[in-house]
Amino acid sequence: MTIFNDIHQAGTSVWFDFIRRDLLEDGGLAGLVTEGIRGVTSNPSIFQKAIADSTEYDDDIREALEAEPDCSVNDLYESFAIEDIRAAADILRSVYDESDGADGFVSLEVSPLLASDTEATVSEARRLWAAVDRPNVLIKVPATAEGVPAIEQLIGEGINVNVTLIFSLGHYESIARAYIRGLEAAEDPSRIASVASFFVSRVDTLTDTRLTEVGTDRALALRGQAGIANSKLAYRLYEELFGEDSFGHLAARGARPQRLLWASTGTKNPEYSDVLYVEELIGPNTVNTAPPATIDAFRHHGEVRGATLLEDWDGADAAIASLATVGVDFDDVTAQLQEDGVAAFAAAFQSLMATLGEKAGLVRAG
């Protein structure tokens, strides 16, 4: 037994928030699966780092351009991304089968440049779902106002969705209800999977910044509390939304609740524990996707203390309510975080396209 098996026994599946070609070809991901890692997530920033900061894909770029000299940079990116996602899905297939479709997923994101376009998001998601052609893939769609109807439509069509960039209870409730409506419209909801990626450390980062700007002793004492408190309140809402009274009619058709996935769980403030956002967010039917450094830290000195998510919901209420009393508008914090998150992923995607364009130009120039 490893600590990743222990945390799974307590209710939380740990996924790996990173993907790169060598991890797939050299047995790295297979080794993590053996150790108890149960899924993989990706985003434009991860692919940007994988392709721009390594030579792993240079031969593929050369071969692709030799086969199709006029290949666009977007086509290059998709060929690499789809190949990697398929390979990861195949490695994770044993987890998917063993868990009866609860775990063993890998995520691929629609272009973040489409975050404000519902119809384009739906079209892109359909295309990527068909291109990857694996049952254990989740298509990532941001929880923007335009993303909510796209999520409902895709779930209704039987496409697995990872809803990303969720920061507030309002964001979360809107996408959870869209998921439920999608299931109600689905012909067979029993094999549809979805997670709601609720971001954590970024909440603390921006909230702490604003508390520091206030600067009073009372404000400073609230630093480092918002991320965990906000997540616990989201989990309480999850239990309400997917309880027997509200979800029983769909559970009778074999549908599964949309699991909460804790994202952005790498600790950004060195004053906080490097496993804070893993140890404090353990609870039934949840996922924690963590970057490599956090995985290593949790392996080395993490502790599983049981279902910490279920502890002190009253304290979580009080922590969020206290922000307003010192002059921090938490609704504005979470709205800003979603706006910044969409912009950051779009910037990473554009940077990736620029890098591929440069590398393709070098190949074409000989």
**Alpha carbons 225 and 43: distance in angstroms, whole number:** 27
Task: Compute, in degrees rounded to 10, the torsion defined by CA atoms 215, 218, 220, 223.
Answer: -140
Q: Find where tokens 């384009």 sit.
A: 120
Q: Find where tokens 């702490």 sit.
A: 208
Strand partners, 197: 261
Q: Find where tokens 């050369």 sit.
A: 62
Catalytic residue, from 49, 140, 232, 268: name it.
140
102 Cβ contact partners less than 8 Å away, ≥ 6 residues apart? 13, 193, 256
From 38, 53, 42, 54, select the one nearest 92 (Cα to Cα). 38
Q: What is the Cα gyration radius of the chain?
A: 20
Q: Would you say 77 and 353 are in contact if contact means Cβ atoms under 8 Å apart? A: yes
**Alpha carbons 181 and 237: distance in angstroms, whole number:** 17
* Active site (annotated) includes residue 359: no
| Positions marked catalytic | 140
